[in-house]
Amino acid sequence: MARDNRREMLTICAAFFFAFLGAGACQPYVVSYLHEEKGLPFGQASLVLSMVYFTFVVFRFLIGFIIDAVGLHAAKIIGIATYALFPLVILAGDSLPVWLAGSVLWGIGAPMLWTSALVQVMNTSGPGRHATSAGIVRGTVMAAVLLGSYGLAFVYARRGYSALFALAAVSGLGAIMAMACSPRCEVAREKPSLRKFFEVMASHEAKAVTVFLVCSGLAYGLLLNGIKTHVEAAHGKYWLELIIPCFSLAGIVTSFLGGRICDRAGRWPTFTWGFVIGGSGMLLAWAVPGPGIVMLAMACIGVQFAIVPLSAFAWVGDHTTPSDRAAVMGYVFCFRDLGVAVAIQARGAVGDPATAFLVFAIISLMCAGAAFWVGQLMRSGRLGK
C-alpha cells in the first residue's frame, strides 16, 4: 500500500521531535536527581529508570494484542501522552512507589508509540525504503535528543532539576498535539498469537537480530545511567553540554544517511559496522580519560545506537506484511529493551562506569564479528531458515 506518505512523515516526526526534546532527553538526569535531590539509594534510583525498560519489554511483547484492541491511531495518541506524563511524575512524586508507577505507565506507552508509528510509516512506504523511512523518524528523534540534551544541560547547570523536568513536561504537550493531527491509517491485521512468536523465533536470522538488539540496548542503557556520572566525576558538569550532545549529533547523521545505506548495502553489513564503531567508542571511553576522547567515544556510541535498531526495523519490514507487522516488531524489539534495562541495573550494581564501558565494548565487538559471520553465511546460502 505504498503511496505519498508525506503527511504521515511530517506529523509523526513532529510528534517524536517534541516527545524526545523533553522526556527522551531528560532520562540521563533521572537517576542522579532521585539519588541526589530525593535521597533514594542509588540502586533504587536506578530501578526507577530501568523499570521503564523492563515494562517496555513486557508490553512490547504484548503490543500486537494492544494495537488489535485499540487500533493504530489510538495507540499513537496514548503512547505519546505518556512522554508528557513521566517528567511530571518524576518532578511531583514524593515516594518510590509513585515514581515506579510513572515508570510503568511510560513503559506501557512507549511501545505503543514506537510500534504503531513505525508500522504506519512502513506500511505507507515502498518495500525498498523501509530503512530510509525508519531512518528519517529516528533521525528526527536524535535531532530532538541533541537539542534537548544541550538545552536541558544548560537549564540544569543554571536552574537545577526542577526547571529541567518542568520544561520536559511542557515539550510533551506539543508532542500530543502533533500526533493528534497525524492521519489514520488502519489496515486489516492478523490476530496476534504466541504461535506467530514461535514462528518468527524459529528463523536463524531472527535469533541473530534479537541478540544484536539486546547488545545494542546494553550500550544505550550504559549511556543513560553512566555517562553523566562519568563526565561529572572526571571533568565537571559543564562538560556535559559538550560531551553528551556528540552522541545525538552522530545519531542524526547516521540515521538520515544510514537508512539509505542500509537499503542499498543490506542489513548485515550495517549491523557489522554499527557494532565495530560503537564497541570502539566504548573501548575509548574506558581507556582514555581526556574529554576530547570521551566526545569521540560518545559519537561512536551514537552511531551504534542509530544503525543497529534501524537495521533491525528494516529487517522486520522486509520479512513481514502489514497484517502482522505490529506483532512481529513487538516480539523482536522486546529484546532490545531488555538490554537497556539490564545495562541500567548492571551499571548501578557495578558502580564504576569505566568497568561497564569495557565489558560492553567487548560484547559489542563480539557482535560485530558475529554479524559479519552471519552475513557471509547468508550470502553463501549456508544459513538455513
Q: Which domains can be identified in the chain, with CATH numbers?
A: 6-181+195-380 (1.20.1250.20)
Phi, psi (5° rounding) for residue 352? -90, 110
How would residue 235 be classed by pLDDT, with cut points 50, 70 and 90?
confident
Which positions ≥6 away from 233 have C-beta within 8 Å?
none
pLDDT at residue number 81: 95
What mean pLDDT comes out for the span 143-160? 86
pTM flag (> 0.85): no
What mean pLDDT comes out for the span 150-168? 88
Query: Which range scores top for mean pLDDT: 220-224, 250-254, 283-287?
Result: 250-254
pLDDT at residue number 350: 57
pLDDT of 141 > 80? The answer is: yes
pLDDT of 334 > 70? The answer is: yes
Cell 523536568 found at: 165
Nearest 5 degrees, angle CA 72-CA 316-CA 180?
Answer: 20
**Residues 280-323: tens digit of each pLDDT:** 988 887 887 677 888 888 889 889 988 998 899 888 888 877 77
Query: Which range scores top for mean pLDDT: 7-21, 30-44, 309-323?
Result: 7-21
Which of these, 241, 246, 300, 247, lies nearest to 274 by C-alpha position? 300
Phi, psi (5° rounding) for residue 37? -90, -35
Average pLDDT, the chain: 84
**Residues 237-246: tens digit of each pLDDT:** 777 777 777 8
Q: DSSP character for 124?
A: T
pLDDT of 385 > 70? The answer is: no
How would residue 224 be classed by pLDDT, with cut points 50, 70 and 90?
low
Which of these, 334, 360, 117, lies nearest to 220 by C-alpha position? 360
What mean pLDDT comes out for the span 264-269? 88
- Alpha carbon distance, N-terminus to C-terminus of the chain: 27
d(CA 173, CA 132): 28
User: Over pLDDT 70: what percentage of the chain?
Assistant: 90
pLDDT of 1 > 60? The answer is: no
pLDDT of 384 > 60? The answer is: no
Where residue 39 falls (left for φ over 0; alpha for ψ -120 to 50; beta otherwise) is left
**Residues 75-112: tens digit of each pLDDT:** 999 999 999 999 999 998 889 999 999 999 999 999 99
Run of H or E including 280: helix 267-287
Provide the H-helix boundaries in 22-71: 25-36, 42-61, 63-70
pLDDT at residue number 203: 78
